[in-house]
A = this chain, B = another copy of it.
Amino acid sequence: MAEDADPARRSIGARRNPDSAGAILEAAEAVLVEAGYSGFSIEAVARRARAGKPTIYRWWPSKAALLLEVYKRQKRVDIPDTGRLEEDLVGFLQNLFKHWRETSSGSIFRSLIAEAQSDETASAALAEYALGRPSHTVQIVERARQRGEVAEGVDSAPVADLISSYAWRHLLTNRLDQDEQSIRKAVGYVLRGIAAPGN
Interface residues in chain A, defined as those with a beta carbon under 8 Å from any beta carbon in chain B: 36-38, 110-111, 113-114, 116-119, 123, 126-127, 130-131, 154-155, 158-159, 161-162, 164-166, 168-170, 172-174, 182, 185-186, 188-194
B130 touches A37 (CB 8 A): no
A161 touches B190 (CB 8 A): no
Summarize A's interface: helix, strand, loop or mixed: helix
The copy count of this chain in the complex is: 2
Instruction: Please give, as numbers and ranges, the residues of chain B lying within 8 Å of A37 by CB-CB distance.
Output: 117-118
Q: Which of B168, B173, B189 contacts A190 (CB 8 A)?
A: B189
A169 touches B130 (CB 8 A): yes
Instruction: Please give, as numbers and ranges, the residues of chain B lying within 8 Å of A182 by CB-CB distance.
Output: 158
Which are the 5 A-B pairs with shortest beta-carbon distances? A38-B118, A192-B193, A114-B117, A189-B193, A165-B169
Complex Cα distance A172/B168, Å?
10
Instruction: Please give, as numbers and ranges, the residues of chain B lying within 8 Å of A172 by CB-CB distance.
Output: 113, 116-117, 126, 168
Complex Cα distance A116/B182, Å?
24
Q: Which of B114, B166, B191 contacts A161 (CB 8 A)?
A: B166
A190 touches B162 (CB 8 A): yes
Question: Known contacts being A114-B114, A118-B38, A190-B193, is A158 close to B185, with CB within 8 Å?
Answer: yes
Instruction: Please give, as numbers and ranges, the residues of chain B lying within 8 Å of A185 by CB-CB distance.
Output: 155, 158
Q: Which of B116, B118, B170, B193 contacts A191 (CB 8 A)?
A: B193
Complex Cα distance A168/B189, Å?
19
Q: Which residue of B lies closest to A117 (CB)?
A: B114
Instruction: Please give, as numbers and ranges, the residues of chain B lying within 8 Å of A170 by CB-CB distance.
Output: 165
Instruction: Please give, as numbers and ranges, the residues of chain B lying within 8 Å of A114 by CB-CB distance.
Output: 113-114, 117-118
Complex Cα distance A174/B113, Å?
12
Q: Which residue of B lies closest to A36 (CB)?
A: B118
Chosen A-B contacts, 11 in total, with CB atoms closer than 8 Å, are A113-B114, A126-B172, A154-B189, A158-B186, A162-B162, A162-B166, A162-B186, A164-B169, A168-B168, A168-B172, A192-B192
